[in-house]
């Protein structure tokens, strides 16, 4: 009997790689959501069920829940909330729609999908793996909304790990650092709803931040398959840690935060943020 896993946001990046990793094992039936089914058309596997859906849409999310629940007679073994994107730009220049959409996709979609699949997960004593980020515990200028959505996801996940443990459901937060995906290229930059005077105030910071990201993209980066392998291994364990930090940058920032006095850490991060926005 195949185990069952639902993975969201599988068009590219971690979602696509995680999907491929589960299928290679030949021990899992994979339900993969994507807004662009054509992006998975090249994967040939009888164990793959592609569900065209935007999980931020209530009606499409409900369709996902119905398909998965009706297909998993013994319950869903693992839910991987991966779908997400980054909104970047000064808070002052972001529209209310942009702000709300960031939280709809990165926070409310995984929250509500998890809630609606709890009966199925409880039946199998399953696992929930939420893909967060190094920015789930460290702030970043010009990405305040993305950071806030990931902080919220981390708080939700930690609380649920305690709440659901009595029902045999394990929850893990995965915190990847910088890896070679199209994440940076896919950033949604604040544009144009803001008036030109507001944009002008932040021009220097935005140029510096874009330069920083360009350098980051030109660097070697980590192999994203490392994240896919780690997620797969998590679901094979009898129990999962609450958090899994992947990448040397994530580990370094975490230990810096923990080991330094708060004032020292704050000073270092303020200084680093200033240099980041002045990059050329």
SS3 labels along 159-204: HHHHHCHHHCCEEEEEEECCECCCCCCCCEECCCCCCHHHHHHCHH
Torsion from C-alpha of 224, 226, 227, 233, nearest 10 degrees: 150
How big is the CA angle at 239 (ends 236 and 242), to the nearest 5 degrees? Answer: 115
Tell me the pLDDT tens digit for each residue of 155-180. Answer: 999 999 999 999 999 999 999 987 76
Query: Does some domain include residue 209?
Result: no
Query: Does some domain include residue 253?
Result: no
What is the longest distance spanned by two Cα atoms in the chain? 61
Query: 120, 124, 132, 157: which is the annotated catalytic residue?
Result: 132
Known catalytic membership, residue 57: no
Query: Does some domain include residue 62?
Result: yes
Distance (Å, rounded) from C-alpha 167 to C-alpha 128? 13
Distance (Å, rounded) from C-alpha 23 to C-alpha 31? 10
Query: Does some domain include residue 188?
Result: yes
- Going from the C-alpha of 214 to that of each of 102, 184, 210, 218, the distances in angstroms are 23, 9, 6, 6
Known catalytic membership, residue 11: yes
Query: 127, 150, 157, 202: which is the annotated catalytic residue?
Result: 150
Known catalytic membership, residue 259: no
Query: Does some domain include residue 142?
Result: yes
| Domain extent at residue 135 | 3-203+223-248
pLDDT value of residue 273: 73
Structural domains in the chain (count): 1
The dihedrals phi and psi of 79, each to the nearest 5 degrees, come to -115, 125
Tell me the pLDDT tens digit for each residue of 101-129. Answer: 999 999 999 999 999 999 999 999 999 99
Say if residue 183's pLDDT is above 70.
Answer: no
Residue 165 token pair: 């443990």
Is 157 in a helix, a strand, or coil?
A: helix
Q: What is the CATH number of the domain that holds 143?
A: 3.40.50.720
Single pTM value for the model:
0.91
Query: 11, 120, 144, 157: which is the annotated catalytic residue?
Result: 11
Query: Does some domain include residue 280?
Result: no
> Which residue bears the tokens 């990405």?
143
Query: Does some domain include residue 70?
Result: yes
Known catalytic membership, residue 157: no
Query: Does some domain include residue 210?
Result: no
Query: 22, 146, 202, 209: which is the annotated catalytic residue?
Result: 146
Average pLDDT over residues 52-81: 98
Distance (Å, rounded) from C-alpha 203 to C-alpha 209? 10
């Amino acid at each position: 009997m195949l185990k069952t896993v639902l993975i969201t946001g599988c068009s590219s990046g971690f979602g696509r790689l995680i999907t491929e990793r589960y299928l290679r094992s030949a021990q899992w039936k994979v339900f993969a959501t994507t807004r662009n089914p054509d992006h998975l058309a090249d994967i040939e596997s009888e164990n793959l069920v592609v569900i065209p859906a935007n999980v931020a849409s209530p009606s499409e999310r409900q369709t996902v829940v119905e398909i998965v629940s009706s297909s998993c007679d013994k319950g869903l073994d693992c839910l991987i909330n991966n779908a997400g994107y980054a909104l970047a730009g000064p808070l002052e220049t972001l529209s209310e729609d942009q702000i709300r959409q960031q939280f709809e996709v990165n926070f409310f979609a995984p929250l509500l999908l998890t809630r609606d699949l709890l009966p199925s997960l409880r039946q199998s004593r399953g696992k929930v793996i939420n893909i967060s980020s190094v920015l789930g515990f460290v702030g970043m200028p010009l990405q305040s909304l993305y950071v806030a959505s990931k902080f919220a996801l981390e708080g939700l996940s930690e609380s649920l790990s305690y709440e659901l443990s009595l029902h045999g459901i394990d929850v893990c937060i995965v915190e990847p650092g910088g890896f070679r995906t199209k994440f940076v290229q896919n950033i949604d930059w604040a544009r144009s709803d803001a008036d030109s005077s507001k944009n002008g105030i932040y021009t220097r910071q935005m140029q510096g931040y874009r330069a920083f990201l360009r350098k980051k993209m030109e660097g070697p980066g980590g192999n994203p398959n490392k994240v896919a392998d780690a997620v797969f291994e998590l679901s094979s364990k009898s129990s999962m840690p609450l958090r899994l930090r992947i990448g040397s940058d994530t580990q370094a920032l975490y230990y810096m935060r923990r080991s330094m006095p708060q004032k020292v850490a704050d000073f270092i991060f303020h200084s680093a943020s200033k240099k980041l926005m002045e990059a050329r």
